[in-house]
Amino acid sequence: MILFRTVLLTSGLVLALSSGTAHTQLSAQDTPASGAAGKPMVTLQMPALPAPVPVTLNPKTTALLVFDYVQAICNSQPKCKGGMLPALTPFMARARKAGMVVAYGTREENVGKWLPEVAPQPGDIAIVNTAQDRFYDTDLDKALKAKGITTIVMVGWKVSGSVAYSSVGATLRGYTTVIPVDTTAATTDYEQVIGFYNILNQLGGNMTNQPLKPHAPTLSRTDMIAFQ
């Protein structure tokens, strides 16, 4: 289970999230005139995320999709270089050795600015996107299906943005998707947990995180992914 804690202050409402439990309390300026001050806080239960699960993939029908491991983003996001990159680098080496298709997607201004440790190589698929869903208005789906790809391992910045949106795009197009939780992140822990929750809860859903549920996303981790 992923645990998180953050405090949001907005319009006098205090929201504290800790280990899957949310508490709300009105500030003094929002206290009703009827004298509700001092009443106990309201407790809301937020669904807990299931733990990552091991999966075994066929490298001949699996592609590694890499989003936005680029200098402009990773140089300003400590979680990218501090956590995501060290996880992806050895995993990508294993994926390439196994013969997996590797595909990249980023905006036009970031083309050519990939971090050297995980930069594209000759023969890789590369698309330029304008939307967070990397399938939208690009040739990514066509290029993957031309190579017989049915399963996708999706990594990149950020889980609550491009990874979440593209996972929906992948599901709509019939792919089974694996998200290694150590290869994506977001600026805040709150945003990160919401991103993973939305990924599992999309469309048909996989809230129990069933390994490799067909045409749905699975949360795994790079050290839990094997090739056969």
Confidence (pLDDT) at 21: 38
Handedness of CA 128, 218, 55, 150 (dihedral sign): negative
Distances (CA, A) of 221 to 128, 138, 170, 184: 27, 28, 19, 10
Tens digits of residue pLDDT in 46-85: 678 999 999 999 999 999 999 999 999 999 999 999 999 9
Whether the link from the prior residue into 158 is cis, omega within 30° of 0, is yes
Predicted confidence at residue 43, as pLDDT, reads 76
Q: Which value, to the nearest 10 degrees, does the dihedral of the CA atoms of residues 172, 61, 157, 77 take?
A: 170
Q: What are the percentages of helix, strand and coil residues in the chain, rounded to 5?
A: 30, 25, 40
Q: What is the CA radius of gyration of the chain?
A: 20
Least confident among 37-46, 85-94, 180-189, 194-203: 37-46
The DSSP line for 117-139 is GG---TT-EEEE-SSSSTTTTSS
What is the pLDDT, as a whole number, of residue 37? 64
Nearest to 49 by CA among 175, 212, 201: 201
Q: What is the pLDDT of residues 118-161, one digit of tens each?
A: 999 999 999 999 999 999 999 999 999 999 999 999 999 999 99
Q: Mean pLDDT throughout 18-35?
A: 38
Tokens of 51: 């733990």
Whole-model pTM: value is 0.81
Q: State the sign of the Cα–Cα–Cα–Cα dihedral 63, 133, 167, 142.
A: negative
